[in-house]
Amino acid sequence: MRRLATAAFIATAALASSAGSANAFFHLLFQPQEQQQQYYRNEPSPHVQISPIPREIVSFSGYSAGTIVISTAERRLYYVLGNGSAVRYGVGVGRPGFEWAGTKTITRKAEWPDWTPPPQMLKRRPDLPRHMKGGIANPLGARAMYLGGSLYRIHGSNEPDTIGQAVSSGCIRMTNADVVDLYSRVRVGTRVVVLR
């Protein structure tokens, strides 16, 4: 019986690896939850999101550990580790006319969030859907962290080529791989400082 189950598993794996989308689906089904974020970095699939700006640990001081600092001029987000260092991520920021600065707090976190465009955005873009369920095609990507007292979020993106550019309506965009990593580090109540 064990041999039959093993043979069936191997056959399924071989079948899945013969097609890219099936391969991605196979890995999502059979990988443990804690390993699923590897899907964004390593799986040969159309949904892989390699950032054009590598995530790295850099020297960084002046803020307490656990703070997020976003430099819109640099188009970088820093998650402060303390001891003079931070994790630096590439981000997409607000396009001209949608820049902003200030201090906010993460008031909510969501995995594969639904998206409801705000009325201001619908006025500019009446062609947008009124609501979209979370998923790989959703513009908010794999994770979202909501910045209280604003319409803005730090969220994933299905357009990794926009990372490092000023293209959004004020939200901070990250690749899905990077937003999953940041999401795992922060909590509700995290301070976010946005610099211009």
pLDDT digits over 11-66, tens only? 334 333 333 333 333 233 233 333 333 333 333 334 445 567 899 999 999 999 99
Tell me which residue has tokens 């819109």.
Answer: 72
Its sign, for the CA torsion 167, 169, 171, 176, is negative
Tell me which residue has tokens 């959004």.
Answer: 168
pLDDT of residue 155: 96
Distance CA 51, CA 54 (A): 6
- pTM of the prediction? 0.73
CATH number of the domain bearing residue 158: 2.40.440.10
Query: In sequence order, which residues have a C-beta less than 8 Å from that of residue 14 and are 6 or more positions away?
Result: none
Q: Where does residue 73 rank: exposed (0-12), middle (13-18), buried (19+ CB within 10 A)?
A: exposed
The first and second tokens of residue 143, run together, are: 């994770």
Tell me which residue has tokens 């639904």.
Answer: 114
147 band by pLDDT with thresholds 50, 70 and 90:
very high
pLDDT in tens, 164-196: 999 998 999 999 999 999 999 999 999 999 998
Q: Are residues 34 and 62 in the same domain?
A: no
Residue 74 lies in a domain: yes
Residue 51 lies in a domain: no
Lowest mean pLDDT among 30-39, 70-79, 121-130, 187-196: 30-39
Active site members? 155, 171
Residue 177 lies in a domain: yes
Residue 144 lies in a domain: yes
Residue 101 lies in a domain: yes
Q: Examine the pLDDT at 109 and tell me if it is beyond 70.
A: yes
Q: Are residues 38 and 62 in the same domain?
A: no
